[in-house]
Structure 1
Amino acid sequence: METKIFNTDQIAEAAAAIQAGQLVAFPTETVYGLGADATNEAAVKQVYLAKGRPSDNPLIVHVTGEETVKAFAQPLSDKAEALIKAFWPGPLTLIFALQPGKLSSAVTGGLNTAAFRNPDNAATLALIKAAGVPLVGPSANTSGKPSPTLAKHVYHDLNGKIAGILDDGPTKVGVESTVLDMSTDIPTILRPGGVTEEQLAAVIGTVQSSHHKVGKTEVPKAPGMKYKHYAPNAQVTIVDHEADWTAALQWASEQSGTIGVMAVDRILQAHNLPDNVEAFSLGHDLTSASHRLFAGLRHFDLESPVTGILAQGFTAEGLGAAYMNRLNKSAGQQHFTN
C-alpha cells in the first residue's frame, strides 16, 4: 500500500478513504491520530494491526461535538455538559458509560465505557464531518514509540501500512489530551494532559487523580495506563534539578558515544556542552517544553541518532504533571543520580 500525503485541500479524498474502511492519520492540536471509522469494526481492528497495539488498549473516539456523544453514551450529567462547554473543542477526553451495543468492543476494549474527544483542529473537524462518522484516533505511531507531532513522524512509522496522512503542519500542544473518567462517582483523571486538574476543578469542583496500577490481566479504561509508551531507541535519563546538570554533563562527556540533551535554553546556555553532546532546545519554559518533548525524542530517533538522552525534568504540577507523565514513561522512570 502506498501511503498518500493529503493536504488540507484534499479532505474530501481523505474522507472517502475513511468511508471505504481505510486508515487515515489526522492532525489534532495535541499529536497526530490514526483515524478509522469508529462504527466499522473491521476498520478499527486494522488500527491495532497497523500500530502493533494491544487489543485491550481502548481507543478514543473523535467527534465534532456533544450531539454525536449523546448518540452513543448514557445521558450526560450537568458536570459533563459544563466541561464540554468549557473545554471543547480542546485537549480534554471524557469517558462516559455507553448505551448497550452502540460501539464495538474493538473500540472499548470490551468495557461498557468509551472515551470521547472533540479535537481543536479545523482540518480534522472538517474530515470528521465529511466522512459522516466519528473517528477512532490513537496516536499515529508504532505502539510504544514517541507520539508524532509532524506528518513526517507518522510517515516514518506507518508508511505502507495506512492509506494516507492529512498534513496540517506541526501540532500546537504536543502532549496528548487529559483523560477524565466521568463514569465514576468522583470524576477521575486517568491521564494528565493539556487541561490541568486545577482548570477542571474550577468548572466542576472536586476531581481526583488515579494512581491505580493496571494489572496484567486488567483492561485499562484509557490509553497509556498499562503498556510502555513514548520510548525512543536510546535510553532516556531525567535530570530533575538544575543543580544536577553540571554532573550530568560531566557524565555525558565520559561516554563513548554521542549523548542527546533536551533542556530549555537557559540550561543549554549556562553550560559548556561537551564535544560529544548534541543539544535539542525545549524552548524557554514548561509550555514550550511540553510542546517540543515528542519532537525532541523523535529528532534523536530519526535525524540524529544518539546512544543516550538526558532530558530536563519539571515539577509535576499543572501542565508539569502531563509533561512528567510522558517523560517518566519514555525514560522507564530512570532519573540521574549524582
Structure 2
Amino acid sequence: MISKTITLRIDPANPDSESVAQAGRLLREGGTVAFPTETVYGLGANACDHAAVQRIFEAKGRPTDNPLIVHIADRAQLDPLVLPYSGIARRLMDRFWPGPLTLVLPVRPGVVSPHVTAGLDTVAVRLPAHPVALAVIAAAGCPVAAPSANSSGRPSPTEVSHVLDDLDGRIDAVIDGGAAGVGLESTVVEIIDGGSALRILRPGGVTAEDLREVVPRIEYDEVAAPGQSASTAREAAPAAAAAPDAGRIADIGPAILLPGGRLAHSAPRSPGMKYAHYAPRGIMELVQGEPAAASAYIQGEVRTARARGERTGVLVFTEHAHLYDADHIAVVGSLAHLETAAQGLYAALRSFDDNGVQRIWAESCPEQGIGHAFMNRVAKAAAHLIVRV
C-alpha cells in the first residue's frame, strides 16, 4: 500500500508544467501514475520495467495473464518496441494515430516486461490523442503500459474522482486533466492473412465503418462481433413468473460463476478482454427487444425485486426514461446521439453503486457505429446475463 496518492493538476490546453515533469519522473523511476486519455483514464508504468509493471497488476487486482496496452508519445518510439510490420499497419497509423486505435504488432523479444505481453509474441500499442497523455509520456522518455485506472472488473474511469474511488492509496499519483472524451476504450485490431485483412479484437472509439475506409476486409474475434451476445441470450419468461437468480444462471450456457453470483464467459486473446469488466456491484441484466416490450419486462422485474426488498436501478436512454419507476434511473444519453451516451456510460454504471442498487436492468441500442462498442461494454458489465423479449 502506498502511503499517499498525490493529485497533480495539468491543464490540457497548456500541459507544459512542473506537474508534467514530476509525472514523467515518477514513471521513469518505476512509479505508477494515472493519467487522462481521450478514451478513459489509464494507469501507467514504465513498460520496460518489470517491477513497475507488476505494480499495475497489484494496484488493480488484475490477473497477470491479461496483457496490457503500451502507449507511446511519438511514432519514433515504435520501432524499438516491435518487429517490422505491414503496410496496412502503417496506413492505419497514418489515418487513426493519434487516436483511439490499438494495433497488435509483433514484439521485439526482451524489450518490454513479460507481464505486458502475457507471454504472447505480440504487443498492443497505441498513440493517444490527448495533450496531457502525450506530454507525460514524452516527459517519461519511455513507453508506458497503461490499462484503465480502476480496480479490475469495475467500470472504467472517465473522471479523476473515479480513479480515486478505486485506487486512492494504491498508486503513486493521479493527474487531474478533466473528463475523458470518447468514454469507451480504444478499438483493438490485429492484422491477419498476410496483411490483407483486419480482425477486431475489441470494438471501441474507432468504428468498423471507420476501419473499412482503410481496410475493406474486416473480421471479428468471436466475442467482439456485433450480436455476439445472441448465443447467450435467453427468451424472457413473463415478468410475474420470473425465476430468482439461481434459476436463471442455468439458462445462460457455459460460464464461470464469480463471487456474488456474477458470470464470466470464455474470452478472447486480446488485452483487457479475458475477464468480466465494467461491472457495477449489483446484479445486472441486459434486455434486448423492442422498447415497449423491453420496458414492460423491466418494469415487471423491478416490481418483483422491490417486493423482495431489493434496491432497483435501470440504465436507460433519454427517450425512454419516463417509462420506468425504479429506485435509481441512470439516463446514459440519447439514442440519437450514441457518442454522447458512450461518454456517459461508465459514470452511469458507477452511479448504481453510489445509490446502493442491488438489481439493475439495462436497455439495448442498435449495434452500428459506436453502438457496437457501447453494447459490447454493457454486455460485459452484465457478465453476459442477457434476456431477449
Q: Which residue number corresponds to residue 209 of structure 2?
A: 198
- What SS is found at the alignment partner of 1:190? strand
1:311 to 362, 379, 384: 362
User: How is 1:9-158 mapped onto 2 (pairs within 5 angstroms)?
Assistant: 9=17, 10-158=19-167
Q: Which residue number corresponds to residue 250 of structure 1?
A: 300
Deviations, residues 87-144 of structure 1 (Å, cap 9, x unaligned): 1111100000122222221211111100001111101100001111111000111111
CA RMSD of aligned residues (A): 2.0
User: How is 1:130-279 mapped onto 2 (pairs within 5 angstroms)?
Assistant: 130-182=139-191, 185=194, 186-211=197-222, 221-241=269-289, 242-243=291-292, 244-254=294-304, 255=306, 256-269=309-322, 271=323, 273-274=324-325, 276-279=326-329
TM-score (norm 2): 0.81
Q: 1:221/1:239 Cα in 2 relative to 1: closer, same or farther (>3 Å)?
A: closer
Task: Give me the whole-angstrom Cα distance separating, in 1, the residues matched to 2:193 and 2:179.
Answer: 35
Amino acid at match of 1:153: H
Amino acid at match of 1:168: G
1:4 to 3, 6, 29: 6
Deviations, residues 23-70 of structure 1 (Å, cap 9, x unaligned): 000111111110001111110111111111111111100011322111
Task: Give me the whole-angstrom Cα distance separating, in 2, the residues matched to 1:204 and 1:228.
Answer: 30
1:146 and 1:298 in contact (8 A); partners too:
yes
- What SS is found at the alignment partner of 1:43? helix
Q: 1:109/1:183 Cα in 2 relative to 1: closer, same or farther (>3 Å)?
A: farther
Q: 1:169/1:333 Cα in 2 relative to 1: closer, same or farther (>3 Å)?
A: same
1:253 and 1:277 in contact (8 A); partners too:
no
Q: 1:183/1:161 Cα in 2 relative to 1: closer, same or farther (>3 Å)?
A: farther
Task: Give me the whole-angstrom Cα distance separating, in 2, the residues matched to 1:225 and 1:149.
Answer: 19
1:37 and 1:133 in contact (8 A); partners too:
yes
Task: Give me the whole-angstrom Cα distance separating, in 2, the residues matched to 1:258 and 1:88.
Answer: 44
Deviations, residues 234-275 of structure 1 (Å, cap 9, x unaligned): 011112231221331232133223211211111013x2x32x
- What SS is found at the alignment partner of 2:386? coil
Q: 1:193/1:17 Cα in 2 relative to 1: closer, same or farther (>3 Å)?
A: same
Deviations, residues 278-336 of structure 1 (Å, cap 9, x unaligned): 211111122222111111111112x2121111212112232222111111111011224
Task: Give me the whole-angstrom Cα distance separating, in 2, the residues matched to 1:166 and 1:300.
Answer: 25
- Sequence identity (%): 40
2:40 and 2:184 in contact (8 A); partners too:
yes
How many angstroms does 1:208 deviate by? Answer: 0.9
- What SS is found at the alignment partner of 2:280? coil
User: How is 1:290-309 mapped onto 2 (pairs within 5 angstroms)?
Assistant: 290-301=342-353, 303-309=354-360
Task: Give me the whole-angstrom Cα distance separating, in 1, the residues matched to 2:56 and 2:8.
Answer: 19
Task: Give me the whole-angstrom Cα distance separating, in 1, the residues matched to 2:115 and 2:192.
Answer: 19
Task: Give me the whole-angstrom Cα distance separating, in 1, the residues matched to 2:151 and 2:166.
Answer: 6
Task: Give me the whole-angstrom Cα distance separating, in 2, the residues matched to 1:221 and 1:16.
Answer: 33
Q: 1:236/1:212 Cα in 2 relative to 1: closer, same or farther (>3 Å)?
A: closer
1:93 and 1:177 in contact (8 A); partners too:
yes
- What SS is found at the alignment partner of 2:174? strand
Amino acid at match of 1:226: K
Q: Which residue number corresponds to residue 331 of structure 1?
A: 382
Count of residue pairs the alignment pairs up: 332
Task: Give me the whole-angstrom Cα distance separating, in 2, the residues matched to 1:205 and 1:265.
Answer: 34
How many angstroms does 1:337 deviate by? Answer: 5.1
Deviations, residues 135-165 of structure 1 (Å, cap 9, x unaligned): 1000111111111111111111111110010
Amino acid at match of 1:281: V
How many angstroms does 1:219 deviate by? Answer: 10
